[in-house]
């Protein structure tokens, strides 16, 4: 990739406020390319980030204190990964991160009002899309891959009469698969049947790959199979359900609590990779809280059909932080190299969405 030493862009890579988030949208490898292209890149020190602070210093970045971004000069673009809370506003900078506020999530209006108050701008990573509306950088594959793995680990724990303990990141996908294979070894003659909904997408593809690598039979559903609307009795016939469908508007649910109480239920583990319980666009209205790395699952039913546990961790790829960050940062890099031309390409489209949502927030409207 050719560099452009004439560029003068100030970026500020912040440390993540979300606990246990080890990923980053700018790795030392991509940081060096940005610096060589003429960018100034400040990097907050972080003990949780999967890449050492010194690796950024070696790439030519200036290291600064953790969570110092609020004091950054106004011309810096603050780059992060996960959402910020509204009480950190007013927001005066241009920000790049996943905000999770454009689909009626709780508190969306109050959050966007902090940008209006501060005069800042949000480039939501979820809405950096090409001309066809496809995201230019995403963690979907790794979310599905890890989600399916955690579902299998929970299922194996159930068979032993226990529960999945707190999770720590794995060094590689091979290490994760080995952990899953070891947990399944006592049950090779009775492996579960799994269903993946959204199997044709990035996330669904990752889930299917992990399940098949572990020898699990997978039923793959996508838009054609769900077009007539649920709830779907087919869901009940599988031991594991992995939902990888990301929605912008409500649809008929795939299952409900009442539906799950049928005597035919074999389902015992649900992993909701899409993890959007606070939105109206939630095809699994069977829970109202996310789970965490510390407590990966919650029990939502325990009846004559046995236990039914739910996993809904909203940053699953952080359990494979190095591989997922490298892939995401490499995909985002070409567009960061164009951010000095915000009137073009993905940045213009993301700004248009931001401005529309801010207008809706000010007028008390919802999507």
Cis peptide before 139 (omega within 30 of 0): no
Rounded distance, CA 344 to CA 104, Å?
28
Is residue 317 within 8 A of residue 153, CB to CB? The reply is: no
Encode burial over 215-246: b for 16+ CB neighbours within 10 A, e otherwise: ebebbbbbeeebeeebbbebbbebbbbbbbbb
CA distance 268 to 301: 9
Angle at 161 between CA 159 and CA 163, to 5 degrees: 95
Rounded distance, CA 353 to CA 124, Å? 9
Rounded distance between C-alpha atoms, residue 228 and residue 248, angstroms: 18
93 included as an active-site residue: no
**Residue 174 vs residues 23, 43, 146, 235, 244: alpha-carbon distances, Å:** 18, 30, 12, 29, 22
Contact status, residue 358 vs residue 116, Cβ threshold 8 Å: yes
d(CA 228, CA 127): 28
Count Cβ atoms below 10 Å from residue 111 Cβ, excluding itself: 24
Q: Is 303 in a helix, a strand, or coil? A: strand
Catalytic residue among 20, 82, 93, 103: 82
CB atoms within 10 A of CB 248: 10
For residue 37, give Cα distances in angstroms to 2, 60, 78, 289: 8, 11, 18, 43
Q: How many CB atoms lie within 10 A of CB 264?
A: 9
Is 200 labeled as catalytic in the residue annotation? no
Helices (H), the chain: 28-36, 53-58, 108-118, 140-159, 173-184, 202-213, 223-226, 233-236, 257-260, 321-336, 345-362
Residue of 42, 100, 238, 315 marked catalytic: 100
Catalytic sites, residue numbers: 82, 100
């Amino acid at each position: 990739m050719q560099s452009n030493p004439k560029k003068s862009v100030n970026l500020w890579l912040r440390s993540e406020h979300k606990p246990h988030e080890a990923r980053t949208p700018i790795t030392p490898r991509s940081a060096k390319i940005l610096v060589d292209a003429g960018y100034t890149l400040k990097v907050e020190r972080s003990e949780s980030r999967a890449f050492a602070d010194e690796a950024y210093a070696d790439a030519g970045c200036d290291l600064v204190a953790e969570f110092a971004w609020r004091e950054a000069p106004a011309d810096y673009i603050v780059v992060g990964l996960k959402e910020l809370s509204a009480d950190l506003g007013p927001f005066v900078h241009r920000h790049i991160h996943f905000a999770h506020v454009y689909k009626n999530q709780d508190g969306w209006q109050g959050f966007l009002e902090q940008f209006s108050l501060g005069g800042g701008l949000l480039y939501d990573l979820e809405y950096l899309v090409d001309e066809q509306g496809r995201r230019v950088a995403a963690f979907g594959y790794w979310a599905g891959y890890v989600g399916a793995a955690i579902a299998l680990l929970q299922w194996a724990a159930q068979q032993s009469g226990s529960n999945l303990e707190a999770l720590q990141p794995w060094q590689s996908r091979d290490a994760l698969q080995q952990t899953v294979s070891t947990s399944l070894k006592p049950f090779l003659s009775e492996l579960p049947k799994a269903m993946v909904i959204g199997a044709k997408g990035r996330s669904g593809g990752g889930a299917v790959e992990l399940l098949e690598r572990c020898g699990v039979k997978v039923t793959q559903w996508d838009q054609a199979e769900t077009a007539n609307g649920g709830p779907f009795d087919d869901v009940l016939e599988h031991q594991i359900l992995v939902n990888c469908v990301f929605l912008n508007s409500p649809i008929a649910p795939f299952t409900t609590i009442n539906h799950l109480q049928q005597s035919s239920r074999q389902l015992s583990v649900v992993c909701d990779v899409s993890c959007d319980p606070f939105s109206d666009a939630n095809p699994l209205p069977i829970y109202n809280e996310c789970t965490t790395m510390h407590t990966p699952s919650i029990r939502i039913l325990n009846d004559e059909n046995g236990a039914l546990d739910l996993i809904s961790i909203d940053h699953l790829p952080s359990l494979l932080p190095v591989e997922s960050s490298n892939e995401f940062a490499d995909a985002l890099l070409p567009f960061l190299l164009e951010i000095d031309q915000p009137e073009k390409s993905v940045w213009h489209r993301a700004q248009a969405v931001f401005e529309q949502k801010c207008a809706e927030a000010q007028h008390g409207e919802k999507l």
